């Protein structure tokens, strides 16, 4: 897992406290609206996201940039860089 100290995002999906698998479903929708090269930030308190998000990126041809700890410690921040239109 790559840890990031700082990462600027073009859009944010706040999935904190929301039921699994919203941590996959909402980012899948939001990334459609981004242009290649833009970054999506995902906020989640779901531990399983640490495996699911990189795996989803690998499967769908997106670049998983890494993770940073939220300053307040109540959620994870994960970053995806859009590479191309999503492969379904």
Q: Exactly one of 21, 28, 39, 60 binds another protein (CB under 8 A); which one?
A: 21
Distance CA 45, CA 14 (A): 10
Residue 11 makes contact with another protein by CB under 8 A: no
Q: Across the strands, what pairs with 23?
A: none
In angstroms, how far is the first alpha carbon of the chain from the final one? 25
Residue 47 makes contact with another protein by CB under 8 A: no
Q: Exactly one of 9, 26, 68, 83 binds another protein (CB under 8 A); which one?
A: 26
Active site annotation includes 7: no
Q: Determine the length of the chain.
A: 88
Q: Which residues of this chain interact with another protein, rule CB under 8 A?
A: 14-22, 25-26, 72, 74
């Amino acid at each position: 897992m790559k840890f990031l100290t700082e990462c600027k995002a073009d859009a944010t999906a706040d999935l904190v406290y929301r039921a699994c698998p919203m941590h996959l479903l909402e980012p899948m929708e939001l990334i459609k609206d981004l242009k290649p090269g833009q970054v999506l930030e995902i906020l989640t308190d779901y531990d399983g996201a640490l495996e699911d998000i990189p795996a989803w990126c690998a499967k769908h041809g997106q670049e998983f940039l890494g993770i940073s700890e939220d300053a307040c410690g109540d959620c994870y921040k994960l970053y995806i860089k859009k590479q191309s239109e999503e492969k379904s």
